[in-house]
Homo-oligomer: A and B are copies of this chain.
Amino acid sequence: MDGQADLSGALIAELRAVLGDRVSLADSVRAHHGKDESYHTLLPPDAVVFPRSTEEVAAVVRACVRHQTPIIPFGVGTSLEGGVGAPHGGVSVDMSGLDRILRISAEDMDATVEAGVTRKRLNADLRDTGLFFAVDPGADATLGGMAATRASGTNAVRYGTMRHNVLNVKAVLADGRIISTAQRARKSAAGYDLTGLLVGSEGTLGIITEVTVRLFGVPEAISAAVCSFPSVDDAVKCCILTIQSGIPVARIELLDSVQMDACIRYSKLDYEAAPTLFFEFHGTPDGVKEQAELVQRNATDFGASDFKWAVRPEDRNALWLARHDALYAALALRPGSVAWSTDVCVPVSRLADCIAETRSDIEKSGLLAPIVGHVGGGNFHVIFLIDPHIPEEWNAARRVNERMVLRALDMEGTCTGEHGVGIGKRRYMAAEHGEAIAVMRTLKQALDPANLMNPGKLLPD
């Protein structure tokens, strides 16, 4: 597929035949659908459609295929690597109209939702069941988008990523066929893992229209703790020991001293501007108390000071406030700046080194860039705070990012732990996957021979 697609009048007519006035060519609508929350350039689609069912999505796909026109799924636009842009033009498929919660089973602890349902909406609907959907990437993303990008977040260390939380998906493939990837059983040894293949495929193999996810019981008790360490290395070692001990921590977040400085200024907190771990514990009242005591003992062994522990919701919230407001705090460090958030993930034994070397690169570059990490899984984020009017800052950030990615690969890590590939990380896919990239191309070619499903994403040219 080369160059810009030309949206034919015939295609628009076919789309209108299916969707009526739920087809938009308006500039503002196209612009809204051509950019996510990332630093990537606006790449507007030629049209935006608003289907309300799997069958309508399939009809859209068939029409686009007849006209050899790219198809780009859109959730709520919270992706971070340019996954929703239209580098080759085409039709953006806005999934917000597929917004039904189809089934909740308290006994099976699972739910089936249409792809446009957001995670907060699902959790609101679950309120009376004693269950919750655990994956929490921060943004209120759609379940379809989260599945497509294999989203993750702060509590993956306890509850897993979308890879572990999706039981099956319904998807429309590149030829308009509708498939279900698996039954609803908790496990199966019956054939190829099509669920796993679609989860994380970023719309390049098909459009996910329904998702069945695991749910977990709302813990009887939740408590939180915060403590600061002499160095990132000490904080990471405390985290490793905690996980080795089998303490089932629900969240362990690392904020480096630059990020803590930002949070202290922003939220007027009484903390040190030192590397800091935020913990959350889920369990019974006795269980969370025991977890916190064990963690405190580990933390003290690694020089931690100022261990603050909180059980009451208002105290917990106060403790976690700094973490939740990390991005706003970072932006407030430099009014007028924009944030470029990037992530890598390495084996946790290499995490402290990877962060230290990246921090050193940042200092040398003269950039301002706090670091926040889902440290239990070896995943961390750098938030470059860039003056959008200074091109050299973009270039410096690009260089630091590239060195960080290559460093992570060198440490047996990945170019993205949870943000996805989109447009931004394509250039690293060959370095990360070697010969396996050819296998990915073979799969793409087999399932989307005309390269119409979200072209220009995930796989390098």
Q: Are A347 and B108 closer than 8 Å at their CB atoms?
A: yes
Cβ of A100 under 8 Å from chain B: no
One of A86-94, A197-205, A309-317 at the interface: A197-205
Q: Are A217 and B245 closer than 8 Å at their CB atoms?
A: yes
Q: Are B414 and A183 closer than 8 Å at their CB atoms?
A: yes
Cβ of A459 under 8 Å from chain B: yes
Report chain B residues within 8 Å CB of A219: 246
**A160-B164, A192-B458 given; 8 more Cβ-contact pairs under 8 Å:** A108-B378, A151-B189, A179-B435, A186-B348, A190-B433, A192-B444, A193-B196, A443-B443
A193 contact from B200, B346, B421, Cβ within 8 A: B200
Q: A445-B446, A446-B442 are in contact. Are A190 and B109 (CB under 8 A)?
A: no
Provide 19 A-B residue pairs closer than 8 Å at the C-beta atoms, listed in order of the A residue.
A107-B240, A131-B244, A149-B189, A151-B189, A152-B187, A180-B434, A182-B414, A188-B416, A189-B417, A190-B428, A191-B432, A191-B440, A192-B200, A192-B444, A193-B199, A194-B440, A196-B196, A220-B245, A246-B282
Among A179, A186, A417, A435, residue most surrounded by chain B Cβ atoms (within 10 Å): A186
Nearest B residue (CB) for A417: B187
- 3 closest A-B pairs by beta carbon, nearest first, are A196-B196, A446-B446, A188-B414
A447 contact from B186, B188, B412, B442, Cβ within 8 A: B442
Q: A185-B413, A217-B246 are in contact. Are A197 and B200 (CB under 8 A)?
A: no
A244 contact from B106, B161, B379, B436, Cβ within 8 A: B106
Report chain B residues within 8 Å CB of A160: 164
Nearest B residue (CB) for A432: B190
Report chain B residues within 8 Å CB of A111: none
Cβ of A265 under 8 Å from chain B: no
Q: Are B187 and A345 closer than 8 Å at their CB atoms?
A: yes
Instruction: For the complex, give the distance between the alpha carbons of A439 and B446 in Å.
Output: 9
Q: Are B248 and A194 closer than 8 Å at their CB atoms?
A: no
Q: Are A187 and B377 closer than 8 Å at their CB atoms?
A: yes
Q: Are A348 and B108 closer than 8 Å at their CB atoms?
A: yes
- A residues near B (Cβ < 8 Å) are 105-110, 130-131, 149-152, 156, 160-161, 163-164, 173, 177-194, 196-197, 199-201, 205, 216-220, 240, 243-246, 248, 282-284, 286-287, 290, 294, 345-349, 377-379, 408-409, 412-421, 425, 428-429, 432-440, 442-447, 458-459
Q: Are B413 and A193 closer than 8 Å at their CB atoms?
A: no
Q: Are B192 and A197 closer than 8 Å at their CB atoms?
A: yes
Closest Cβ of chain B to A6, distance in Å, is 30
Nearest B residue (CB) for A219: B246
User: Taking the full assembly, how many copies of this chain does it contain?
Assistant: 2
A163 contact from B191, B196, B415, B418, Cβ within 8 A: B196
Q: Are B183 and A440 closer than 8 Å at their CB atoms?
A: no
Closest Cβ of chain B to A378, distance in Å, is 5
Instruction: For the complex, give the distance between the alpha carbons of A431 and B75 in Å.
Output: 32
Q: Are A186 and B446 closer than 8 Å at their CB atoms?
A: no
Report chain B residues within 8 Å CB of A445: 446
Q: Are A436 and B193 closer than 8 Å at their CB atoms?
A: no
Closest Cβ of chain B to A191, distance in Å, is 6
A105 contact from B196, B218, B349, B437, Cβ within 8 A: B349
Instruction: For the complex, give the distance between the alpha carbons of A197 and B444 in Å.
Output: 14
Q: Are A130 and B244 closer than 8 Å at their CB atoms?
A: yes
Report chain B residues within 8 Å CB of A409: 183
Instruction: For the complex, give the distance between the alpha carbons of A434 and B438 in Å.
Output: 29
Instruction: For the complex, give the distance between the alpha carbons of A282 and B247 in Å.
Output: 11
Report chain B residues within 8 Å CB of A433: 180, 190-191
Instruction: For the complex, give the distance between the alpha carbons of A184 and B439 in Å.
Output: 19
Instruction: For the complex, give the distance between the alpha carbons of A414 and B177 in Å.
Output: 22
Q: Are B186 and A347 closer than 8 Å at their CB atoms?
A: yes
Closest Cβ of chain B to A212, distance in Å, is 10
Report chain B residues within 8 Å CB of A105: 347, 349
A190 contact from B156, B161, B429, Cβ within 8 A: B429
